[in-house]
Amino acid sequence: MKIRRLITICALLALLVCLFSCEKQDELPSDTTTLGSEEKTDELQETEREELEECPSPDDHEYAEESRVDALALKEGEIKYGCTKCKSEYTESIPATKSLKILALGNSFTDDSTWHLWNICKSAGVEEVIVGNLYVGNCTLDQHWSYISTSKNPYIYRKTTDGKRVDNENFRAVDALQDEDWDFIVLHQTSGSAGQASTYSKLSFIFKFIDAKATNPNVKVIWHMPWAYQGDSTHAEFPKYDRDQQKMYETIVARVQEIIIPEDKISAIIPSGTAIQNLRTSYVGDNVTRDGYHLNYGFGRYTAGLTWYAVLTGGDVDAPDWIPPEYPEVAAYLSAIREAVKGAMANNFSVTPSKIKTAEDGFDLSGYELLEWNYNKNGWWNCKDSLTITYPSSTNGTYNQNICTDRKYSIEELPIGTIFVCDYGWRVRIEQYPTENEKYDGARHGGCIYPFFVLSEEFLNGCTYVAWSVSSWPKTDISADFDAAYPHVRVYVPVN
Ligand SMILES: [Zn+2]
């Protein structure tokens, strides 16, 4: 009898342990939160059903919805049905919606993230895309709540429905919220506050506002995790993170894990901060912003946009092939951008180091030929001032930092799509001439200090000749070794 009682106690203990661990599994995974994870819709658990007898005949099955994964714009969903009387089950797929309507309640960081989003989604096959951003510069959650609760209208409501962004000024949050049947509302805390737990207290009020006012009863709330500043950023709030980029990244991640992940109202995290941090481990380095904290207009914004696309549509990161026409160099950055976004999707909250360590590693050079160009020392081109190379009277002082091509090149020699690769620490300044012996009367290009510059129609503006000068950047005196400049700028010419 004693042994029997012991066995009973052991069995009960085992059951308790099992129940406890089953409960644990129902919690959100701590590392990755993405849309499309399974939601149980029925009380019936698989373990309970296994104990039931098989139904005597197929006609006896009584199926009920057991779990559901909602479809996304580019990803099928599925509904699992299980028989309430036996183990039998089947799955029905829900077709991808091909439609995405998102509204961000944000600031300039969500501006950066959504700038290219419409085109990225379209090029991947989303048929209907509506992107909205409620913008107030540096707006915190507290400020958003204050504007919402007092019905104030300080927002610029940027809305893109057909590829053209329209700015609607003096908007109230509620009017934008009810302007469309949004699929997703994206929330975001300012970069300066995102690391401080005390700044999230209004979140529950904002959730209630969305519940009460959104016109789509199935609207999902998404959290956007911002990126850390550039290491040398002069942003006024950088001292909150001891002016330490890594510390800023880790602090923001920690707050998301502590405060956002446990929130039932949040359906997914957009890990832009991790995607940007991943990109910084590639050859791009810590050169992703335009002012120390806002993303640069081309590949910086594209990286955040692609991260939003991946989370919100469930689409393949490699699918979008649209390149912003005004930033053609994004094409050359694309492999590093995609690698960074895939890493962030796989590991939302930790850095995945890049394997792309040089600019040339990042793209396929098989269709290009490296140009050997001859250079003159201590001289430069200026397409607005002169048709010939300018040589300073002295080899020292402020004007001694350039080498330049020994002649102009025609666009027959360097066609559209020619790629200039410029190493960090150097600048290539490309000059353009309408014809070989005509000065240019448009705006002179400021020079490229990023790895890639791609010769485009937009840049040439009707010109048919180019020449270029190379200097160190920031400017230093390189007169002792002009030859050292040459290998830092490489020109790849497309070959047919
Ligand atoms: Zn059955």
Q: Three-state secondary structure along 115-141?
A: CCHHHHHHHCCCCEEEEEEEECCCCCH
Q: For position 51, what pLDDT does the model report?
A: 60
Output the CA 451–ligand 1 centroid distance in Å.
63
Beta bridge partners of 131: 102, 160
Residue of 199, 195, 347 lying closest to 275 (CA atoms): 347
Quick check: is 10 in a domain? no
Q: For position 36, what pLDDT does the model report?
A: 72
Output the CA 116–ligand 1 centroid distance in Å.
50
Q: For position 348, what pLDDT does the model report?
A: 98
Beta bridge partners of 159: 132, 166
CA distance 495 to 366: 9
Output the CA 91–ligand 1 centroid distance in Å.
15
Output the CA 14–ligand 1 centroid distance in Å.
28
Q: What is the pLDDT of residues 327-360, one digit of tens each?
A: 988 988 999 999 999 999 999 999 999 999 888 8
CB 371 within 8 A of CB 491: yes
Output the CA 54–ligand 1 centroid distance in Å.
6
Residue of 2, 215, 257, 224 lying closest to 113 (CA atoms): 224
Output the CA 78–ligand 1 centroid distance in Å.
20
Output the CA 462–ligand 1 centroid distance in Å.
73
Kindly tell me if the per-residue pLDDT of 440 is higher than 80.
yes
Same domain, 81 and 133: no
Taking residue 484's Cβ as centre, other Cβ atoms within 10 Å add up to 12
Q: Longest Cα pair distance anywhere in the chain, in angstroms?
A: 109
| CA 164 to mean position of chain CA atoms | 20
Output the CA 283–ligand 1 centroid distance in Å.
58
Beta bridge partners of 269: 223
Same domain, 317 and 348: yes
Same domain, 138 and 77: no
Mean of the per-residue pLDDT values for the chain? 90
Output the CA 463–ligand 1 centroid distance in Å.
75
Q: For position 48, what pLDDT does the model report?
A: 55
CA distance 165 to 162: 8
CB 425 within 8 A of CB 476: no
Beta bridge partners of 370: 492
Length of the chain: 496
Contact partners, residue 314, CB within 8 Å, separation at least 6: 35, 36, 72, 73, 74, 75, 96
Report residue 427: phi and psi, to 5°: -135, 135
* 425 Ramachandran zone, left/alpha/beta (phi>0; psi -120 to 50): left
155-160: strand order across its sheet: 165-171, 155-160, 128-135, 99-106, 184-188, 220-224, 266-270
Kindly tell me if the per-residue pLDDT of 49 is higher than 70.
no
Output the CA 59–ligand 1 centroid distance in Å.
8
Beta bridge partners of 158: 133, 167
Quick check: is 37 in a domain? no
Q: Between 207 and 424, whose confidence is greater?
A: 207
The reply to whether omega before 95 is within 30° of 0 (cis) is no
Q: Where are the alpha helices (DSSP H) in 35-154?
A: 46-49, 108-114, 117-123, 141-149
Quick check: is 274 in a domain? yes
Output the CA 50–ligand 1 centroid distance in Å.
11
CA distance 196 to 21: 32
Same domain, 82 and 122: no
For the segment 30-48, the average pLDDT, to the nearest whole number, is 59
CB 92 within 8 A of CB 76: no
Work out how many domains the chain is built from and give that number. 3
Q: For position 396, what pLDDT does the model report?
A: 57
Quick check: is 225 in a domain? yes
Same domain, 349 and 371: no
Output the CA 15–ligand 1 centroid distance in Å.
25
Same domain, 356 and 370: no
Output the CA 18–ligand 1 centroid distance in Å.
25
CB 367 within 8 A of CB 494: yes
Output the CA 36–ligand 1 centroid distance in Å.
27
CA distance 3 to 9: 10
CB 230 within 8 A of CB 245: yes
Q: For position 4, what pLDDT does the model report?
A: 53
Q: What is the pTM of this model?
A: 0.80
Output the CA 62–ligand 1 centroid distance in Å.
6
Output the CA 68–ligand 1 centroid distance in Å.
20
Same domain, 298 and 176: yes
Question: What is the domain-level CATH number for residue 223?
Answer: 3.40.50.1110
Beta bridge partners of 61: none
Q: For position 235, what pLDDT does the model report?
A: 97
Output the CA 89–ligand 1 centroid distance in Å.
8
Same domain, 339 and 269: yes
Output the CA 57–ligand 1 centroid distance in Å.
8
**Listed residues 362, 377, 411: the one ending a domain:** 362
Quick check: is 9 in a domain? no
Output the CA 41–ligand 1 centroid distance in Å.
18
Output the CA 168–ligand 1 centroid distance in Å.
56
CA distance 28 to 37: 9
Quick check: is 256 in a domain? yes
**Listed residues 321, 339, 362: the one ending a domain:** 362
Output the CA 454–ligand 1 centroid distance in Å.
63
Q: 210: burial class by Cβ within 10 Å (0-12, 13-18, 19+)? A: buried
Output the CA 79–ligand 1 centroid distance in Å.
17
Q: What is the pLDDT of residues 52-104, one digit of tens each?
A: 778 999 999 999 999 999 999 999 999 999 999 999 999 999 999 999 999 99
Output the CA 27–ligand 1 centroid distance in Å.
29
Element (H, E) at 68: strand 63-69
Output the CA 45–ligand 1 centroid distance in Å.
14
Output the CA 92–ligand 1 centroid distance in Å.
17
Output the CA 55–ligand 1 centroid distance in Å.
4
Same domain, 377 and 260: no
Same domain, 191 and 334: yes
Q: Between 36 and 132, whose confidence is greater?
A: 132
Output the CA 243–ligand 1 centroid distance in Å.
62
Quick check: is 42 in a domain? no
End-to-end CA gap in the chain: 89
**Listed residues 94, 118, 146: the one ending a domain:** 94
Output the CA 60–ligand 1 centroid distance in Å.
6
Q: What is the pLDDT of residues 106-165, one digit of tens each?
A: 999 999 999 999 999 999 999 999 999 999 999 999 999 999 999 999 999 999 999 999
Same domain, 268 and 245: yes
Q: What is the pLDDT of residues 269-317, one digit of tens each?
A: 999 999 999 999 999 999 999 999 999 999 999 999 999 999 999 999 9
Q: What is the pLDDT of residues 358-411, one digit of tens each?
A: 888 877 889 999 999 999 999 999 999 999 999 987 655 566 578 999 999 999
Q: What is the pLDDT of residues 217-258, one digit of tens each?
A: 999 999 999 999 999 999 999 999 999 999 999 999 999 999
Output the CA 43–ligand 1 centroid distance in Å.
16
CB 182 within 8 A of CB 162: no
CB 399 within 8 A of CB 482: no
Tokens for 204, please give them: 């529950």
One-character DSSP codes across 68-108? EE--BTTB-EEEEEEESSSS-EEEEEE----EEEEEEEE-H
Output the CA 346–ligand 1 centroid distance in Å.
38
Output the CA 86–ligand 1 centroid distance in Å.
4
Residue with tokens 């994964």: 69
Q: For position 342, what pLDDT does the model report?
A: 98
Output the CA 56–ligand 1 centroid distance in Å.
8
Output the CA 66–ligand 1 centroid distance in Å.
14
Contact partners, residue 471, CB within 8 Å, separation at least 6: 380, 401, 402, 426, 427, 429, 478, 485
The parent domain of residue 393 ranges over 366-494
**Could you give the C-alpha distances from 384 to 171, 389, 432, 438, in angstroms and in order?**
44, 12, 9, 9
Same domain, 212 and 356: yes
Output the CA 61–ligand 1 centroid distance in Å.
4
Strand duo 99-106 + 184-188: pairing: parallel
For the segment 168-184, the average pLDDT, to the nearest whole number, is 98
Q: Helix 299-313 and helix 272-279: axis angle, to 10°?
A: 140
Q: For position 400, what pLDDT does the model report?
A: 58
Quick check: is 12 in a domain? no
Output the CA 53–ligand 1 centroid distance in Å.
8
**Could you give the C-alpha distances from 444 to 383, 424, 440, in angstroms and in order?**
7, 22, 8
